[in-house]
Amino acid sequence: MSIRMKVFGLTIDPLTNSPILILKDLEGEKTVPIWIGLLEATAIASELENIKFSRPMTHDLMKNLMDQLGVKLVKIEICDLRDNTFFALMYMVSQGKEFSIDARPSDAIALALRAEAPIDVDETVIQKSKEIDLGAKEEIQTDESKKWTEILESLNPEDFGKYKM
């Protein structure tokens, strides 16, 4: 079963300087941190901040192509977490036919934000993500996992820094 989530914010891992995308369920009880690249973080941040560029960026181009071809993004789902790597599917409809496409979660989320499509996360991914250490992205012991889960779940939007464009 999947849980509906929203992009809660972006932050930087202080040990690796890697961007972290934070997803939270609609009730604010469950949190999933996903380490992403800087370019992907910029694509997500620009949409969250409603920043428009003079020329279409990659995800904007993709959305424009989908619109012109009559393809609708129904939802995305973060469907798996293996070896500290998240996996996503984009569920689409075109000419009455439903299909899904494998995607990196950061790309799927950047597109979902532009298409105003829902973001779902499989419950097993939520459970597995609790085992990832924020600093090293390595599996850790239960006590440490609980500590990070409590920290993430207690954060407010104003706790997150914003990317400078």
Handedness of CA 7, 102, 83, 135 (dihedral sign): negative
The better pLDDT of the pair 77, 159 is held by 77
Q: What is the DSSP string of 43-93?
A: HHHHHHTT---SS--HHHHHHHHHHHHTEEEEEEEEEEEETTEEEEEEEEE
pLDDT, one tens digit per residue, over 5-61 is: 999 999 998 888 899 999 999 998 899 999 999 999 999 999 999 998 899 999 999
pLDDT, one tens digit per residue, over 109-125 is: 999 999 999 999 999 99
CATH code for 2-159?
A: 3.10.690.10
pTM across the whole model: 0.78
The domain locations on the chain are 2-159
**Cβ 140 vs Cβ 133: under 8 Å:** yes
Handedness of CA 113, 34, 119, 70 (dihedral sign): positive
